[in-house]
Amino acid sequence: MKLLRYGPVGNEKPGCLDDQGRVRDLSGKVSDITAESLTPERLKILRGIDVASLPLVENPGRIGTPYSGLGKFICVGLNYSDHAAETGAEVPKEPILFNKWSRPSGANDAVVIPKGSVKTDWEVELGVVIGTKARYVSLADALKYVAGYCVVNDVSEREYQIERGGTWDKGKGCDTFGPVGPWLVTADEVADPQSLAMWLDINGKRFQDGSTKTMIFDVAYLIHYISQFTTLYPGDLISTGTPPGVGLGQKPPLYLKAGDVMRLGIQGLGEQEQSVHAWDAALLD
């Protein structure tokens, strides 16, 4: 099942996609798609709905985040061997973890360059959404805790991340730096999360063209590993790293500027498109 939310910020309605890729209105069945909706019991009820009988939404307009109440936004750095190579970094012996502070935005919402930034970068990533409380889970059972998968653009400010000292978080958590969606694809529809093609274009030019098969630490291992340090709850999101082709890895490096358009997607999980804007506080509220 492909779950989504559509409508203006703060007034999104729940929906889903039918077999023809059209949006259907779920508001007659649920008031919203929330983190609590992602538990196995709630997803079983949603999957039992006859999608074809739901009202068709002819013009859904803005597509918001796939669910409300996103909890922890945990990200994994340098998790693709070919991406580590392009940045000149050593392959990590254990997953590199950091957090996004930003409020997640819809798949096609504007991305705003922070004040004074000259090194804002792009990263297409596979998002893994937790559906069952996970604490010290075994590697063998780890995928049982997944509610579904989605596309994430881990927008990053490289100067803040690398050159300003401390942790990576301040280069990752700027406002608008976390587009999520357009929808959440439930885990039963993703046969193998380690064989998904992924791509990203800037102004129509392909920069990232990779696959989740080159992950250093796969999805199951990441859930197992992270659950050793913190309890994961329904609605927590793990963004699992990016393949090569980021702006930092270009020769010379290339970064986003106002007017650029990012398009990105992952096989079976949908596509995003964001326009890049100079700093404008009005775009954040």
Residue 186 domain-assigned (yes or no)? yes
55 near 187, Cβ under 8 Å?
no
Residues 171, 256 within the same domain: yes
pLDDT tens for each residue of 82-105: 777 777 778 889 999 999 998 889
Residues 83, 48 within the same domain: no
Tokens matching residue 146: 């997944």
- Reported in sequence order, the residue ranges of 134-193 that DSSP labels E, i.e. its strands, are 146-153, 156-157, 184-186
Tokens matching residue 104: 């997640």
pLDDT tens for each residue of 212-221: 999 999 999 9
Domain count, the chain: 2
Residues 33, 119 within the same domain: no
Residue 123 Ramachandran class (φ > 0 left, ψ -120 to 50 alpha, else beta): beta
pLDDT of residue 109: 97
Q: Exposed, middle or buried by CB within 10 Å (0-12, 13-18, 19+), for 203?
A: exposed
- Range of 45's domain? 2-53
Residue 178 Cα to chain centre, angstroms: 7
Residue 185 domain-assigned (yes or no)? yes
d(CA 235, CA 184): 11
d(CA 144, CA 40): 10
Q: What is the mean pLDDT of residues 233-261?
A: 96
Residues 89, 170 within the same domain: yes
pLDDT of residue 252: 95
Residue 31 domain-assigned (yes or no)? yes
The enclosing domain of 150 has a CATH number of: 3.90.850.10
Residues 248, 276 within the same domain: yes
pLDDT tens for each residue of 186-202: 999 999 999 999 999 99
Residues 48, 90 within the same domain: no
DSSP-based three-state secondary structure for 153: strand
pLDDT tens for each residue of 107-163: 999 999 999 999 999 999 999 999 999 999 999 999 999 999 999 999 999 999 989
pLDDT of residue 165: 85
Residue 59 domain-assigned (yes or no)? no
Residue 133 domain-assigned (yes or no)? yes
pLDDT tens for each residue of 53-76: 999 999 999 999 999 999 999 999
pLDDT of residue 119: 97
Residues 77, 49 within the same domain: no
